[in-house]
Chains A and B, each alone.
Chain A
Amino acid sequence: MTLARNFPFFSILVCLVGSVVTSVLKPRAAKALTIIIAGVVLVLSAFTLRYALALESAEPFMMGHFPAPWGNELRIGRLEALMATGISAVLFITLLAGFYHMPAFVSEKKLGLYCIMVDLAMCAILVMLYTNDLFTAYVFIEIMTIASCALVIVRQNGHTLVAATRYMIMNLLASGLVLLGISMLYGITGHLLMEPLGRSVRHIVETGQYIEPLTVVIALITAGLAIKSAMFPFHAWAPDTYAFAPPMSSAILSGLIGKAYIFLLIKFFYRVIGLDVIVGTNVDSVLFVCGVSGMLMGSVLAISQRDIRRMVAYSSVSQIGYIYMGLGMGTEAGVAAALFQMLAHAAAKSLLFLSTNELVSVSGDRKRFHYLHGAGYRNPVAGVVFTVGAMSLVGIPFTGGFIAKLNLATAGMPMGGWMRALVLIALAISTLLNAVYYLHTVVSLYRRAPAEIDYPPSHRVPRHAAAALVISMLLTVYLGLGSGPIMRVIEAGLKMFA
């Protein structure tokens, strides 16, 4: 009995209790506590990863005195620990780099409430990563939905209210689908925990009884989680939400919360249904097609934007498309590539949103491209960081995005005829499109500033924020250079997953 096996539970508990304690603190203290909690979660996740790397097979963790089919459970495996470490690292950096400009978007007194939301969003993400129980996952999906809605509406202007309303409507629709799916699954199997569910599903597939409801269950839950993670045809709520929310919230929403839903979907595919059954029902082909069209359409829409925040927001849609393309290949290599793309995108996107905000704020809070001319000189750190983030999303070597695309292409190679061609062509076109709008943005950042616009006197970025931005840039580069061990962990983790 080592203490380390309790760490996932501790990290969830720290967030939960921390959020409750935050509610009675003054805003300044609440802010400090939130950052400390994120740091503690990062350390705990890192230790969990170390513990999980030594494990032969994944280990269940009982939440209470009762074992698997009766009580709630967490599950500690390599993949869960890796994702938790990556996500908490990105969150910690985001909080360090982003908190200092929150007062520009949130009134002083509501900062405490905002901190509660950040803590609970983190808690929900961790539960989604570790949980072994579908209904627990549902409850924490709801917490995540409320938390992300609140992260948007702390900035109170008309746009965020409208965007949040749209967001809530779409997400509640999706929650309804997920809950209906879970209750049907309960009806035909009688279980809620993933291991017994997996056994019952295999039984159903073998005997063929209740196979029709099973197909509908897969469709319902996949559709629900796809809507929540802004997969292409259901992305309508996403760009407005990401573009108008405070930049730190956008970073958390697009970089981290969307990933938790996709991770849950992967878990559902692998642990509950089984990848072979998914391939048999052709759900994967649907995801593949949606992913590819998302990659292309997201980029095309991003090109037509006049405003840098909206451009970055639309590029999220296209990056989520990559993840779904990998998932839709229906092979282990494809899922592994999708998981790596999740990490790479989480790191790069939060960096982009934060540095975009720096660049916009040195240009007098104007987000149109031509006001941004010269912003790279006015704030050199943010300029460099933005450039690296953009390079990663375009897929230039030595960055995380390059490796992610390489993995996707390699995963696509062994596929049959049209799918292989489609993977390669889509990757090529979408890389080209990404390059068009990101390089254009970078070029305009380093153009000479027009003389007739008067810019505000540049403010100093606090040293810790600048350091955090640089660290997150290094993280992106690390994902590009040190991807070997990470890919090995992902592959081993996927083997432990089933």
Chain B
Amino acid sequence: MWQALYDNLEQTVAVILFGIGFTILLLQRNLIRKIIGLNIMSTATYLFLASMGYIQGRKAPIVTDGVTDLAAYINPIPAGLVLTGIVVSVSFTGIMLALTVRLYRRYRTLDIDQIALLAKGEDMA
């Protein structure tokens, strides 16, 4: 197993990063850190995806000198998917940060548990 993990080092690192991001997202109570964890998680997925397209000794999929041979270029599909993913994750980051600003403006704290308590209290007071 260790040899297999070493062979797939990119993917190994990617899933470890995914786990770290996941844990940060669950564990951290600070909203901004949570959002960073989210970004780490999604970037790890993109690394995982991108590593699947790479083939030893082949070049980036940009046609040079009119060569259109399959053996000359790496797999273009993961690149396209990751491109989509990066843009999606920046949109999410924007929305989450906007939510953070609004919550901070109202409750003056970034701690999500604290915020939830304050929100509950404000209903009853």
Interface positions of A (Cβ within 8 A of B): 135, 139, 142, 146, 149, 153, 156, 158-159, 161-162, 164-166, 168-169, 172-173, 176, 179-180, 183-184, 186-187, 192
Contact assessment for B45 and A164 in the assembled complex, using a CB-CB cutoff below 8 Å = no
Q: Chain B contacts of A164 at CB under 8 A? A: 99
Chain A: minimal CB distance from B27 (Å): 12
Q: Which residues of A sit under 8 angstroms from B99, Cβ to Cβ?
A: 153, 161, 164-165, 168
Q: Are B88 and A162 in contact (CB under 8 A)?
A: no
Among the interface residues A156, A159, A176, which one has the most CB atoms of the partner chain B within 10 A? A176
Contact: A187 with B95, CB < 8 Å? no
B11 → A minimal CB distance (Å): 8
A168 — nearest CB in chain B belongs to which residue? B96
Q: Looking across the interface, which residue of chain B has its beta carbon closest to that of A142?
A: B88
**A-side contacts of B85, CB under 8 Å:** 179
A158 touches B18 (CB 8 A): no
- Report if B69 contacts A (CB, 8 A): no
Kindly provide the distance from the CB of B88 to the nearest chain A CB, expressed in whole angstroms: 5
CB<8 Å pairs between A and B, sample of 19: A135-B84, A142-B91, A153-B99, A156-B102, A161-B102, A161-B106, A162-B103, A162-B115, A164-B99, A165-B96, A165-B112, A166-B116, A169-B25, A172-B25, A172-B92, A173-B38, A176-B41, A183-B48, A186-B81
> Which among A139, A158, A180 is the interface contact of B107 at CB below 8 angstroms?
A158
B100 to chain A, nearest CB (A): 8
A-contacting residues, B31-56, CB 8 Å: 31, 34, 38, 41-42, 45, 48-49, 52
Q: Do B119 and A158 touch across chains, with their CB atoms under 8 A apart?
A: yes
User: What chain A residues lie within 8 Å of B49 (beta carbons)?
Assistant: 183, 186
C-alpha gap A156/B78 in the complex (Å): 39
Identify whether the interface residues of A are mostly helix, strand, loop, or mixed.
Answer: helix
**Per-residue 0/1 for B9-32: is the Cβ within 8 Å of any A Cβ (1 yes, 0 no)?**
000000000100110011000010
Task: Report Cα–Cα, A168/B25, bound state, in Å.
Answer: 12
Residues of chain B in range 93-125 having any CB-CB distance to chain A below 8 Å: 95-96, 99-100, 102-103, 106-107, 112, 115-116, 118-119, 122-123
Contacts of B34 in A (CB 8 A): 169
Contacts of A161 in B (CB 8 A): 99, 102-103, 106, 119
User: Could you tell me the distance between the alpha carbons of A146 and B91 in the complex, rounded to whole angstroms?
Assistant: 9
What chain A residues lie within 8 Å of B92 (beta carbons)? 142, 146, 168, 172
Chain A residue nearest in CB terms to B75: A190
Contacts A172-B38, A176-B22, A179-B45 given; indicate if A186 touches B122 (C-beta within 8 A): no
Contacts of B91 in A (CB 8 A): 142, 146
**Who on chain A is nearest to B123 by CB?**
A159
With A and B bound together, what is the CA distance between A56 and B26 in angstroms? 49
CA distance A153 to B119 in the complex (A): 15
User: How far in angstroms is the closest Cβ of chain A from B77?
Assistant: 8
Q: Across chains A and B, which 6 residue pairs bring their CB atoms closest together, nearest first?
A: A183-B49, A158-B119, A187-B52, A162-B119, A176-B41, A142-B88
CB distance from B84 to the nearest CB of A (A): 6
Q: Which residues of A contact B18 (CB under 8 A)?
A: 176, 180
**B115 / chain A contacts, CB cutoff of 8 Å:** 162, 165
Chain A residues whose CB sits within 8 angstroms of the CB of B118 once the complex forms: 158
Please determine whether B45 and A186 come into contact, CB atoms closer than 8 angstroms: no
Cα A187 to Cα B21 with chains together (Å): 22
A121 to chain B, nearest CB (A): 15
When C-beta atoms are compared, the residue in chain B nearest to A191 turns out to be B77
User: How far in angstroms is the closest Cβ of chain B from A155?
Assistant: 13
Q: Which residues of the other chain, A, contact B106 by a CB distance below 8 angstroms?
A: 158, 161
Q: What is the bound-complex CA distance between A187 and B50, given in angstroms?
A: 10
Neighbouring B residues of A166 by C-beta, 8 Å: 116
Tell me the complex Cα distance, A156–B105, Å.
12
Chain B residues, CB < 8 A from A159: 119, 123
Given the known interface contacts A162-B115, A162-B119, A165-B99, the answer about A173 and B88 at a Cβ–Cβ threshold of 8 Å is no
Say whether, besides A169-B34, A186-B52, A187-B52, A179 and B84 are in contact (CB < 8 Å). no
Q: In whole angstroms, how far apart are the Cα atoms of A281 and B15 in the complex?
A: 23
User: Given A168-B99, A169-B25, A172-B96, 7 other A-B contacts at CB below 8 A?
Assistant: A156-B102, A158-B106, A162-B119, A169-B38, A179-B42, A183-B45, A183-B78
| Cα A192 to Cα B123 with chains together (Å) | 47
A158–B84 touching, CB < 8 Å: no
Once the chains bind, are B103 and A165 in contact (CB under 8 Å)?
A: yes
Give the complex CA separation of A179 and B86 in angstroms: 12
